Amino acid sequence: MDILTHALSGMAVATCAVTFTKGKALRKAKVIFTGALGGLLPDIDAVSMWSRFDSTFGALFNLSDTGRVIYGSKFWYSHHAFFHSLLASVLIGALIILLVYMFRHISSKKKLSFSSFIQNHFIYFVVFVLGYWAHLAGDLPTPSSVWGGIAFLWPSDDYIGGSGNIWWWNNYDIFLLIFCCIVINLIMPTISKRIRANKKVFTSVVLFVTLVLILVQVNTRQYDYAYKGNTTKYAEMEQNSKKEQERILGKKLYRLMDRFDRSMKFHF
Ligand SMILES: [Zn+2]
């Protein structure tokens, strides 16, 4: 799935999780941003496709394979491997919290208690991990391709998902559902007193309904996008994913989304 939808999926989860915490607007905004970060981070393993990977990371770690080969392989640092696992979500979340603590500890004049810092910042860890999981869930219905899914239970060699229900990108319907979830969860509690009083339930229901609607969309695609390894039908499948969106969204909304897509510097 595209990186923008991934980031927003983490953010959507965070708009719900944040209602379970207390704090000022800035703290809540940071929590929501952390969800987006969790939604982004698993695809850090696509760095091997960066044009200067071989001359930087490749040279630094003395890697015998090119970034392109690494990307489609099953090394722990390949795409869809360790960074797309449950273990990575927890380890990276813990590492980030630890780094933030160390930075604060060094930069603050007062002694900073580790236990009270963790207590205060545990929500960031939780939201990061949840955002990370939202990313992993979003990758499950994409094609198997050369990986056969994602290494969800790494270090196990088994890859799960790769059902090919949806194409890699052009999933505008899913993007719009997630976008609406975020907007509703952020705006509704501010304009309605009743919703504000029940914001935990409200945002949870909105998130749940969004998930159900996404599942419906994922499972009612008219075209099949499943393939293993490489496919000669890549361009055809990509075209089909566009046709599918035009059918779902209608001509007007599709045209709008298509224009938005073309303005992006990455696959969307
Ligand atoms: Zn991914």
Q: pLDDT by residue (tens digit) across 113-149?
A: 889 999 999 999 999 999 999 999 999 999 999 999 9
For 81, the 3-state DSSP assignment is: coil
The residue extents of the domains of the chain are 3-263
CA angle 19, 21, 25 (to 5 degrees): 80
d(CA 39, CA 84): 11
Q: How far is the CA of 132 from the centre of ligand 1 (A)?
A: 9
Terminal CA-to-CA distance of the chain, rounded, Å? 8
pLDDT band at residue 108 under the 50/70/90 scheme: confident
**Alpha carbons within 13 A on the beta-carbon side of 226:** 12
Percentage of the chain exceeding pLDDT 90: 94
Q: How far is the CA of 210 from the centre of ligand 1 (A)?
A: 20
With beta carbons less than 8 A apart as the criterion, state whether 145 and 227 touch.
yes
Distances, alpha carbon 246 to alpha carbons 3, 149, 167, 212, 242, in Å: 21, 27, 14, 21, 6
Q: How far is the CA of 11 from the centre of ligand 1 (A)?
A: 15
Q: How far is the CA of 136 from the centre of ligand 1 (A)?
A: 6
CA angle 52, 263, 248 (to 5 degrees): 120
Q: How far is the CA of 149 from the centre of ligand 1 (A)?
A: 10
Distances, alpha carbon 131 to alpha carbons 148, 149, 152, 187, in Å: 23, 19, 15, 20
Q: How far is the CA of 123 from the centre of ligand 1 (A)?
A: 23
pLDDT tens-digit readout, 163-181? 999 999 999 999 999 999 9
- Is residue 157 predicted with pLDDT exceeding 90? yes
Give the global pTM.
0.94
Q: How far is the CA of 134 from the centre of ligand 1 (A)?
A: 10
d(CA 81, CA 265): 25
pLDDT score at 112: 82
Q: How far is the CA of 43 from the centre of ligand 1 (A)?
A: 5
Radius of gyration of the chain (CA): 20
Q: How far is the CA of 68 from the centre of ligand 1 (A)?
A: 16
With beta carbons less than 8 A apart as the criterion, state whether 128 and 38 touch.
yes
